[in-house]
Structure 1
């Protein structure tokens, strides 16, 4: 016999309003505009308006919902921030018109150019390119046909394009010179015969290998260093993007910092016509089913519009509260722009001050940027990855990294500092760091080991 049992338990669930608020909170300024437009298109009860009209229903409930724009005079325009620079791929495709290629060679050339990485290198092997063309064009080519077209592309500008590795890239640039001088000829020989030694800065082995003076060899070294290691020539597709649009603007005014949202959205409120329809249908809803159905539809749209605008206002208030707290803690940095003045700060510090959960602060920080008098910074820039003890005080890891960077910039390049030496110098300065911490910070700063920093 089946036994019926009554159980009672509690569970936490987010309301639709809370879900909408969280969704809006994590959107950046560049995305919130499209979200507002999408909502206006889907909900006829919402409209953008220049005025903030106050409307009331007969039940005396105030339906004055207003999306406040903190910087209506903002000059930010997403369209004006689109770069019109020609990408290196577009540049190469234009140059193909000057080559005498048949139909099949054009197919191969287009495939090779489309396969290039953003830095201009061809890292996909020939066999894979053959398979790619066979799959997309249903044409089978031989490896040597791909190689022949590749050689033609490698003669295009900028020199070094479509190289398969750094060595080939440098050689292509030297080979593009019609009348090379002595140091360029020597540079080509060094790359062809001693590239591994040059890359690992084993200069003494190269000196021994060539029956020339150090001065002549050093001139060849200087020339090699002047070549471009990125064959795309600075026209990488990754740079053909929108410029960074800030979410906040912080300006100093009469010794106080003003924090504003960088949004230039118009006021958002409830459509007047929908209030009239709501009132009209409210009196007719009990007369017939069609009127009742229409009333429920209009009521639903009005409620959704109310939730959306309230969520937007809550988002803006939360963003401003968070940014103001960051400015208060990092006031010295916003005053002088010196990274060494950044105080140790973690998400928990902000969460405790604004009385919100750490996850909420994390959503705000994740994708937001602020414009200051010293440039545009991501909000995460102001938070410490870790803290280092200096005497009885704690300092941000950024301060230690800056000092480490200065030590390496000022070091004698003929005898660069080892990690052990840097550890000792940092400890002498009062920073309590271990050698493994020095190695970690050095790697984060993209600084090679001492052996690779050595210069001839």
Structure 2
């Protein structure tokens, strides 16, 4: 039987502007600058303010006074009304996390693209036909950022047929590919790592007129290793290599030394006008320095764009209001113009307030981090880092944990001891043999030092690393050692072995 019933429930929803503010919180500097630029282009009533005269106090500079007996050195300024506090924890911002975000920060584009650089080299080569040149251009257009050709010749043939109505045999594409592989840098247009290394070794042998007999022999042996025994080389089975090649340890070491000089990512070495992908440079969001024993925290200027409402449009809106007051009504065109100006001014006011809110929230979060990790910011010693989770910062800042997570995402701080990601300061804790709680970051640092100081001819496996950490006062499981080692980007013992 059908029936009707009433149900009362309370829901929490984010407005579109709250969602946009969350997005602004998470943006790294480069993307923030792009977002501001887009808003300036979209909204004619918004403009950049004229810089204030020199000599006026810096509104962003904040001092963390650690004088004993004084006022609370970490007393925060009054924050704007926080509607981000109501951000539900189940709200998830689309995008990559810190683990997958590749090199955040500011980017400066090169003058010429990588394609143009290679195209310039092709212009100096003589091809049998115009078709061969078209094939070559198609090949270099399919190279990835590292200079590898990941597209199969059959797929390139399909591209030529679709784009240019050209029917090309794959054998001809492979023939032109060999010409492309002769371009600079050596190793370009390889289809895998083995081919990349072999191309570079072939180039050294072919152009090595000034090589002595010993160097030439090392290169020939290196070619043999890569061409015929690449699997043994990649797995570092040096004893098997030595037996198969019938060489002594010194000869094998010299040949491996030649291989280690090669570039596994040939295009990544290009810079300036040659490498056109985009040079990535991390620009810190904060500056923390020690001056006369006092900690000073400031936002970088690029984090605080100075925006204002265009005076002309404000005067125009005031004029429309005056006309309406005098005549009692406006024409249709005047109403549309006034509505357009009013809507954009409201949008500009919100955007300026959102940028200010972002600055205040970023500062309050960094302020709390510096207070919590004061010992590190004074000494630069990673062993002084305290275990810290997002909740430890959400408490004193009175922000939601999800908001703190967005703030620290892709943000960097420059200190007297280097530049660090804010994520570096967050880690879980463990208790050492003395009963003291230490950060897992400290444990990883000790683990890295142990591996750096090991005998490379007989590197330590994870069980031996576990015992070494226990001797240093950190008792952790072997699987945890393996996890920390992988997080440090260090391979297993067999792959760390050297001759």
What TM-score comes out, normalization by structure 1 length?
A: 0.83
- Judge conservation of contact 2:107–2:278 (CA < 8 Å) in 1: no
- 2: CA distance between counterparts of 1:192 and 1:410? 33
- 2: CA distance between counterparts of 1:7 and 1:339? 55
- 1: CA distance between counterparts of 2:187 and 2:342? 65
Q: 1:212-361 to 2 correspondence within 5 Å?
A: 212-232=247-267, 234-235=269-270, 240-264=278-302, 265-269=305-309, 271=311, 272-273=314-315, 276-277=318-319, 280=322, 283-284=325-326, 287=329, 299-361=342-404
- 2: CA distance between counterparts of 1:292 and 1:5? 47
Deviation at 1:87, TM superposition (A): 5.6
Q: Deviations over 1:354-389 (max 9, x none)?
A: 0011111111111322232333332222212x3333
Per the alignment, residue 191 of structure 1 pairs with 226
Q: 1:385-396 to 2 correspondence within 5 Å?
A: 386-391=428-433, 392-396=435-439
- 1: CA distance between counterparts of 2:355 and 2:379? 33
Q: Does 1:49 align with 2:49?
A: yes
- 2: CA distance between counterparts of 1:382 and 1:238? 34
Per the alignment, residue 420 of structure 1 pairs with 463
Per the alignment, residue 100 of structure 1 pairs with 126
SS of match in other structure, 1:249: strand
Judge which range, 168-177 or 211-220, deviates more.
211-220
What TM-score comes out, normalization by structure 2 length?
A: 0.77
- Judge conservation of contact 1:388–1:432 (CA < 8 Å) in 2: no
- 2: CA distance between counterparts of 1:15 and 1:188? 63
Q: 1:292 to 1:6 in 2, by over 3 A?
A: farther
Per the alignment, residue 484 of structure 2 pairs with 441
Specify which of 144, 150, 160 is matched with residue 171 of structure 2: 144
Per the alignment, residue 90 of structure 1 pairs with 116
- 1: CA distance between counterparts of 2:324 and 2:183? 73
- 2: CA distance between counterparts of 1:50 and 1:329? 37
Q: Cα RMSD over matched residues? A: 3.2
Judge which range, 220-229 or 312-321, deviates more.
220-229
Aligned residues: 431
Q: Does 1:128 align with 2:155?
A: yes
Deviation at 1:141, TM superposition (A): 1.0
SS of match in other structure, 2:148: coil
Unaligned 5+ runs, structure 2: 53-57, 62-105
SS of match in other structure, 1:268: strand
SS of match in other structure, 2:141: helix
Q: 1:285 to 1:69 in 2, by over 3 A?
A: farther
- Judge conservation of contact 1:69–1:263 (CA < 8 Å) in 2: no
Specify which of 414, 423, 431 is matched with residue 380 of structure 1: 423
Deviation at 1:230, TM superposition (A): 2.3
SS of match in other structure, 2:295: strand
- Judge conservation of contact 2:390–2:404 (CA < 8 Å) in 1: yes
- 2: CA distance between counterparts of 1:299 and 1:191? 69
Specify which of 194, 209, 226 is matched with residue 167 of structure 1: 194
- 1: CA distance between counterparts of 2:119 and 2:266? 16
Per the alignment, residue 180 of structure 2 pairs with 153
SS of match in other structure, 2:407: helix
Unaligned 5+ runs, structure 1: 53-67, 72-79
